[in-house]
Structures are given as structure tokens and as C-alpha cells.
Structure 1
Amino acid sequence: MASKAVLRIAGSFGSGRGRESDYTVHLSVDGGHESRCSLGSIDFDRGFDTVFDRDADEGIRRDAGEVLCRALLGGGLAAQWDRLRGGATRQDPVRVVLDVEPSELRGLPWELMWQHGWWLWNRPELLIRRGTARTVEAGPTELGPLRVLVVIGTPAHDEEFLAEQELAAMSGALESAPARVHLEVLDDPASAAALSDAIDRLRPHILHFIAHGMPRPGIGGPELVFTPTSGEPWSLTADDVPALANHQPRLVVLNACRSAADPADWVGGVARAFLDAGAGAVVSMQADIESDAAVVFSDTFYARLAESSPVDMCVAAARAALARMPVRTGVWALPVLLTCCEPDAVLPVAFRPAADVLRDILRSRPYAELRRFVGRSEERRQAWWAVDAPHASPAAMDRSVLVISGHSQTGHHRTGKTWLAHWCLLTWFLRGHHIVSVDLAGRSGPAGGRPGGGVRNKDWLTVLRMIRDQATSPDQLCPIPKDAFAKFNAELNQLVLGSARTAPNEHRPEVDEGRGFNDEAARADERKAGIFSAFLDALSGAAGAQRLVLALDHTECIMPDSLAGELYEGLIQPVAYGKPPAVRLVIVAREESVSPALRESDAHMIGRVQVGDFRTSELIRLARAYSSRLGYVPDEKVLNFLQSYQETAGEFFAVDLFHTLTPHVPQWLEAANALGVRR
């Protein structure tokens, strides 16, 4: 960036408006000398609060913007401002902070400032935002994913429709790149306590409100109004914000619909309260925003945010997208960005792999398919945090073993447990862990020329060999070197036959001879323990300084006696109790096949997450998210079809419904083909 400028309006404080001469404008560049002059004349009776009315034309907004720009920059600061602006380019823009200290001036639409035939706040060479002249230090960098909590206040029907459209746009923008963002939705919280609990549970980086807003009765200050489907309406005011929750999000977005004649000061009210409470930035709207514009804003803003762009660039991109809408309503000037820290420090979230590695991941299956993995926000959080909680809390206890099980309420074969496991694996990888995914549903390959064990009824030794062979495959995202299992192979060759455990020849790495285990030879249990010990040593050595997460999918393909016997005692139980300490184990299976193998005495050491069918009440929301992931906004015909299906379906529907329907919905099929995804 070429420069950073601060424009600060100081002067008369209080509830009433002073004379223009009571206010001064201060301009400093890059922390240098501060120039000052009096604020120019502003006719407060010209109707600034109506410039965003539906019947207001561009001329009214342009006149208002010219008045504001002349008052701020038309006096003694004009020459300095012109020099500053003249040195700015699209490639090297100037960042400008407008700090409006007098509360009575904050409600003016400064975003409409018009100079020399241009809207200043929509110029690519200027990144203008509101904020404080003094910036606070950014918090420590945290590993991703970015956590987002969307709070929906359930207002009137048309506003609820807006919320669903905006939510779908956010899902498409944020979740199309799997595991980089975790998004949860809180629908119509019944009370401030319910909202507080949700914030403290997720500890979101971003808190996004879609609610109704209005002036407080008899006071005029703004409030967010929530109308839960059950219970009494309640409101959140600026006074409530400091004690709202123990956790303070870094970015707050307030999309609060309200009357266009509402005189409440949102910029200096609720938005400023969140900033004072510890948020790094707040985005709010100056007036009502139509549903199509809200979708454009959220889609563009969050798409840029998902690319790790600074928040002011995200807002600037959203303004530009709004300005390109066919009807000129000044909607591009509605967003107000208020900051107290540098824009690139608002969300200090990072990922361990480099950006090019992330791009390569999303080109390969099965992770590329995760863009269509919708829903399951609570199960995602539970599974992810069971193995690697992103923050310390009394309720967060890392488990070394996690069981992801599936049970369909409608008798369907698929429940999405494999997709959940893949999403978690990718999440852990982005957090710096070594991940290995093993699919036990396939036919086990021959080891040393011995025939494989078929698709089902695999014994414990076949499972160990499949883990080794798949873990060292180049198809893995993080393949383990083959020589990591050299000592294991050497000891295995001896112990399966009944030989004593001896030190292998380190100068001649051995391969598995593929023999079956001889249960008739002496010390069978001791030899099995030796094989598992050597196997765990190999995993521990492969992990090194990293945490190694090993996922075993389709464990229902294991013989029940082997799963509950040798594999439980030799692999699951030791890992559950931290031996070896760097290894984590994820077991993915049908509920009815895995539960009998688990022991109640170890339940406190094993995390459990179960997935099933989707509730039919979620169908339209999930369908919108699915469409958005494909880059398609569903039209009325598709929505009517889904609505008809929803009305005739039972309480639940199968998780693969959208994939089943894709070939029969032309818009979905076309979008899926364009993305090159499997159907």
C-alpha cells in the first residue's frame, strides 16, 4: 500500500448538533503531521435520512454526497487530499480511515461522498472505511478453519425468505472450499442467554446477524429484535453487547432490516458497541437492503473473505458488485465498515499448508467432492473437536480415538459418515496434522503372493496389512514412506510363524512374506501383542513431530470377533489411552457393527459422533446450499418441485437425495458437469 490516511472529525460532543464551526477536520498521512481545518457547511435539514428511499433518485444522492465531500475535503485540506488521491492507483491504493467522533454526525451517509464526478467510496484506488484513529493490536494468529455463526431472528415471511437466500449465498461463498470455513446457523434464539451460549460454544471468528431492527421505544437508540417461533420476542441493544458473551468475535456483520425512516444511529449504536467490546471490525447497513442485493453482497464479501483478503478489500469488492446491479438505488453505499485495527489483522486465521498445496488438494478426490457436502454443522464440530479442539476449554478434551457411526432412520444404506470423516481429515490436515485414510471396503491385495481376504469378513492381520499398504500408497494426501514399516515387516515375518521376536537386519529392509498367523504355535497371544507393538512403533515413527490421524472407513467389513478382540486390544485401546501419544485413530462404520465392539469401561476415552438422515424440515435450506455449492441459484421451478417433495415426504429424507436428483434437475446437472464432479 502506498499510504494510510486518517480523516478525523472532532469537536462538539453531545446529543444535539452544533454549528459547523464547532467541528474540525484533521488529516494525517502515514502517522505524520496532522493538518486541520473547520468542517464545512452542512444543511442538516436537506433530508439525509431519505437518500436511500426507494423513490430517491441518483441526483438526490449525488447532491447529498457533494455536500458531505465539500464539507469534509473542500476547505483547507483540499490540496493535501488532491495530492494524496493523485498518487493512488488501482494496483497501489491508499487506505483511508474516517473517524467521526461526534455521535450526532455518525448517522450521515458519508459513503455517498461525491467529488469530481466520482463516488469516492467506490473508487478502486481508494480503500475508505470508518473507524478509530487509534488502532489496537491484532490478536495472536490462530489456525483455521474460520468459524462463522449466523444468527437468524425469524422476522416476517419476506424477511425470512431474504435470510434463506443470504444464507445460501454465504454457504456457496464460504464452504465451496472444503474445511477452510466452518459455518453454523442459530435460528430464532429464544433469549439472550441462548445466543450467549451459542457464541461461547462455537467461539466464532465471525458473527453474522440477519434480524429485524428498530429504534428502542421512547429512547430512539437501535435494537435488534428477535421473534422466536415459541416464546416472547426479545431485543438486543447496544447496552447489552458488552456482557453478551465471554467470547468476542473478531468480525460482526449486522444485516438488520428496518424502516427507512428509522432515525436510530446504527453506526454509533450497536455497531460501535461491538467494536468497543473487542471486535476488530463491524459491517452494518445504513438502510433496508433488498434480498437480491443482500445475496450479491454476501456472495462477494464472503467469497473474498474465504480467499483471506483484508476486510476492507472484501467490502470494496462487494460495493463494486452492488454498483453493477441494473437498477441504480445507491445500494452500493449501504454497507458501513467500522474498524479499530488494520483490515488485514481483523481475522488472524492461518493454515499450515501453502496456498498452492490447498489448490492441489481440492483437485483430487475424495476431497474435491466435499464441496457438495452440505449440512452436518454440529456433527462436524463435534468430530473435529473430539480429536483436535481449536481452543482450550473445560468441555474440550482431545480424544485419541473417535468413532463416527451411521444409522439411517429410513433404512437407507448411506448416512454421510464417510464424507464427514473426509471433511474432518482435511480439516486436521489444514491444521498441520499428518492424515491417512484407509478404506476397508475394497478387496485386500495379496501380500507376498498370498490371495487377498475378499471384501468382507477381514481378519485382524488382513486389516493391519491393508492399513500399511494403503498408508504408503502415493494416492494418499500424506503417504507414509514404505521403509517406515520395514521393521514391522521383519518382525511380522517371524512372529506369524511362532519365532521369537528378534532384532531385524537394519541393513536389509524386509518385505512382508504374506503368511497367515499360526494360532497353533506357542505363545499366540504374546506374538499377537508383539505384532501390534511393532505396528504402533511404525505409526509412531512415521508421525515424527506431527500428530498422525489414521481413519479406518467401512470397519463393518472386519470380522466382528477380530474387531472386538485383537484389533480392539492391540490397536484401539492402546491408542485411546495415548500409546503412542502422537497417533489418533478414527473408526468409521455403521452403528450396529461398531457399537458391540466398544467396551463401556473405555467409553470416557473414546469420542462418539453419530449421523443419520436429514430432517425433512431442512430440505429447502439444504437444497439451496447444495445449489449454491454448484454455483447455481435455484429458480422457482426447482424450488416448487422441492417444496412438493417436502410436503409429501416423511420426517426424514436420505442424505444422498440431492445426488440422486441431480441427473433429473437440468440446472443441477449442467452445473455439476461444468464443475466436473461425480454424480
Structure 2
Amino acid sequence: MSKKKTARIDLIVHRVGEDMIHSARTDFNVAHAVNTTKAVLSSLGVARGVVESTLIDTRSMSNADLEGFGKDLAAALLSGEVTGLYSKTASGCRIQLGICVDDPLLKTVPWEFMFWPDLQTAPHPHRCVARLVPGTDIKPLPPLKLTSGGRVLLAVAAPTNQPNVDWIETEADMKRIFAANTNDTDLKSIDFRLVEAATADALRKAVQNFDPHIVHFIGHGRPDGLWFLKHRSNAGSVVPTSMLRNVLASDSTRLVVLSACDTANVGTDIAPLIPLAERLVRGGIPAVVANQMPMSLRSVATFCAALYSDLLQEGDVDWAVNNGRIAVGVAYANVNAATVEWGVPVLYRRPGCSQLFTAG
């Protein structure tokens, strides 16, 4: 990864009537702006629908269409004094942009597709996006050297009343990457465990006994919960969001990765307006990676391989997620759905918690 200087910009966005109010800050500056959103937000809603249709191959979104959507997103986020602050800060720097929104409509917007105006591209190795979740008073966990004594738990839940989940490739990639980054083919320096055919209670017990630093769930999700197997049954049922903090995390857990569709989706038709991933961070998990729309298993495996490779080398979850997005965009550039799949993964985290692990 580039050793360019890194600058952070935290951007708080909320609506007042038909106006969108921006407050941006860096370590050295603060800026405020008002942007009229009536036309902008309606166009973003239409474009989001095209993105979702492209993912299920019922429509096609060209690279030009995606670029136009990304420019609309940039226009909605960067306006007035905030534009000036971004331009001044971004000169010669890598930028970590943290977006905090409290409005249900703004939460539905896939900000991850933003087209970076100064670089004329997205995604980009010098720009990353995370969604910040303020309000938790839990003390942040210190960065951990994951390559020495790290504990990683992979949980798989594939009920027979849901589509088949092919998780073997992701497991193999994770083991290969952990081995390569620790020069340890037997994975003795990282404790890697698998919970297969998981019920919620079995996973809860495994998490509490193992106390993992990373929990990776592969299965099916909805905005209001995750599918697990029922006790003594191959069928499954949804465990609601309110219970999932107790299932997925222990005191040492720094990161939860949800390879499950719609786990970062607001889901206004069937669920409360706070996405599952955001609720988990509100419950005390430092960082959660989830999907705001459906994502193919092919792209999930590619994303996770790049995510973990970067996380083991650098330790910063913002850049690791960004590296995963880039990997998907490059690997499947000529596949219709994959034209937009790179923007599906979303990172929710607490402010000040990007450096989850120490580098190397």
C-alpha cells in the first residue's frame, strides 16, 4: 500500500426540510454547507433502483451510468465550504472519509459509489469510505497484532429452506491468506476455527468459549436479522437484530464480517430504519462489514480475500474494505452485475476505530 500521508475527513449529514446540512471536519479545519436536496435525492433514489436491478440481471447499468451516479453522490456530499475543505485536504494525501447520517432516507443512499471529483474515478486506492456510528460510550479496544495469537471464527449457517451457500472457497482463501501473511502453513500463529451448520445458540457458545478477534458469518440475512438453523432441524428461522450482538461478539471481538445479503440495508418495508450492521456497532462491536444489496458468492470470495490480505498487512479496516472493493471491480470488470458489485460491501464502525490491528 502507498505510504502517502493520510488525512481523515468526518462528514456529518442531516436533513432539515428540503435542505441537507453538512458539517465536515479534519484534524485542523471545520466547514459547514447547506445543499438543496429535492432534485438530488430523487435522482439518487432512481439510480439506486437501477443498481439493484443490475445486481439481479434484470437491467444493465453501464460504466458511464455508474460514473454519472457517482458524480451525483459527490455533488450531494461535497458542496459549498465542504468542497473547499475536501480539495485542500485531499491535495497529495490519501483520504479516509467517514460519513455519519441520521436520516432514514439518507441511510438508504449507497454513498460507497461516490466518484472522487479530484481523481475522476471510483473506487480508488487513495480514497476510502466508512459509515460512522457515534453515541457508544464503550471504550475502544487497542489495536492487536493479529498475525501472532489472533483468533478467527468462521461460522456457516445454510438452512435447507434457503438457497444453498457455497462457503468452501471463502474458507480456503482465508486459510491461504492467513498462512501466507504469517509464513505459517499450519496456521499455528493464528487460531482459525469453523462452526458449520450453525444454530444461533451453538454459535453463541462457540463465540463465548473461543473469544474471537474476528467473526466471519456466511449465510443469509435480512435487514432485521440473520438466518440460522433451528435446533434439531435442517430448516432455519431468522434471529432478530436485537439478539445478534449476543450471538456474534465477545469482549475481544474487534471485527464482524457478514457475508450475507441485505445486512447493511435499511429495509424500510419489513424492518426498522437502522440497518442490522449499524445496530451491531451501536451494541458495542467496533466495526462491522456487511452488504447493502445482494452480492454473488463469486464476488464475496474475491472481496474477502483482498480484505483479509490487506488487514493482515496494514491493520486498518477502512483501507482493507477499500482494497476488497477494488479487487471486485478489477476481477469482474466485464461482468454485468459485477460492474456495480464492488460498491455493495459497507463498513460501519465507531469513530476512531479504523486501526483495529497493528501492521504486519
From 68, 82, 86, the counterpart of 1:81:
86
1:99 is aligned with what amino acid?
Answer: C
Deviations 1:256-308 (A, max 9, x none): 1369x994579932101211121111111122222221111111111222224
2:72 is aligned with what amino acid?
Answer: V
Distance 1:39 1:175 in 2: 51
Q: Normalising by the residue count of structure 2, what TM-score does the alignment of the two structures yield?
A: 0.80
With CA pairs under 8 Å and 6+ residues apart, which has the higher RCO, 1 or 2? 2
2:150 maps to which residue?
Answer: 146
How far 1:333 moved relative to its partner? 0.9
From 20, 23, 41, the counterpart of 2:18:
20
SS where residue 252 of structure 1 aligns? strand
Q: Does 1:30 align with 2:38?
A: no
Deviations 1:227-251 (A, max 9, x none): 4594252222221134447724210
Distance 1:158 1:337 in 2: 26
Gaps of 5+ in 1: 13-18, 215-220, 356-679
Are the structure 2 counterparts of residues 35 and 342 from structure 1 closer, same or farther at C-alpha, using a change threshold of 3 Å? same
Deviations 1:306-338 (A, max 9, x none): 224311121121122111123252111111111
Are the structure 2 counterparts of residues 315 and 266 from structure 1 closer, same or farther at C-alpha, using a change threshold of 3 Å? farther
Which residues in structure 2 correspond to 1:643-654 (within 5 Å)? none
1:126 is aligned with what amino acid?
Answer: R
Q: Does 1:330 align with 2:340?
A: yes
Distance 2:18 2:92 in 1: 30
Q: Does 1:95 align with 2:96?
A: yes
Which residues in structure 2 correspond to 1:262-273 (within 5 Å)? 263=267, 268-273=274-279
Q: Does 1:202 align with 2:202?
A: no
Contact 1:97-1:133 at 8 Å conserved across structures: no
How far 1:167 moved relative to its partner? 1.6
Deviations 1:346-390 (A, max 9, x none): 236x9xxxx6xxxxxxxxxxxxxxxxxxxxxxxxxxxxxxxxxxx
How far 1:158 moved relative to its partner? 9.9
SS where residue 188 of structure 1 aligns? coil
Which residues in structure 2 correspond to 1:292-311 (within 5 Å)? 292-311=298-317
Which residues in structure 2 correspond to 1:156-235 (within 5 Å)? 160=164, 162-176=166-180, 177=182, 178=184, 179-190=188-199, 192-214=200-222, 221-227=223-229, 230-231=232-233, 232-235=235-238
Contact 2:227-2:239 at 8 Å conserved across structures: yes
SS where residue 198 of structure 1 aligns? helix
Distance 1:225 1:158 in 2: 9
Q: Normalising by the residue count of structure 1, what TM-score does the alignment of the two structures yield?
A: 0.44
Distance 1:37 1:95 in 2: 22
1:196 is aligned with what amino acid?
Answer: R
SS where residue 108 of structure 2 aligns? coil
Are the structure 2 counterparts of residues 246 and 36 from structure 1 closer, same or farther at C-alpha, using a change threshold of 3 Å? same
Deviations 1:114-165 (A, max 9, x none): 2548666522222322213679753245564211111111146996453122
Gaps of 5+ in 2: none
Distance 1:127 1:115 in 2: 10
Contact 1:153-1:228 at 8 Å conserved across structures: no
2:51 maps to which residue?
Answer: 51
Contact 2:97-2:130 at 8 Å conserved across structures: yes
Distance 1:48 1:311 in 2: 25
SS where residue 224 of structure 1 aligns? strand
Which residues in structure 2 correspond to 1:152-551 (within 5 Å)? 152-155=156-159, 160=164, 162-176=166-180, 177=182, 178=184, 179-190=188-199, 192-214=200-222, 221-227=223-229, 230-231=232-233, 232-244=235-247, 247-248=250-251, 249-257=253-261, 263=267, 268-325=274-331, 326-328=333-335, 329-347=339-357
Contact 1:275-1:282 at 8 Å conserved across structures: yes
SS where residue 185 of structure 1 aligns? strand
SS where residue 61 of structure 1 aligns? helix
In proportion to residue count, which structure has more strand? Answer: 2
How far 1:182 moved relative to its partner? 1.5
Identity %: 21
Contact 2:21-2:33 at 8 Å conserved across structures: yes
How far 1:207 moved relative to its partner? 1.0
Are the structure 2 counterparts of residues 324 and 343 from structure 1 closer, same or farther at C-alpha, using a change threshold of 3 Å? farther
Contact 2:33-2:79 at 8 Å conserved across structures: no
SS where residue 51 of structure 1 aligns? helix
SS where residue 293 of structure 2 aligns? coil
CA RMSD of aligned residues (A): 3.2
In proportion to residue count, which structure has more helix? Answer: 1
SS where residue 198 of structure 2 aligns? coil
Distance 1:157 1:224 in 2: 13
Q: How many residues end up aligned between the 2 structures?
A: 331
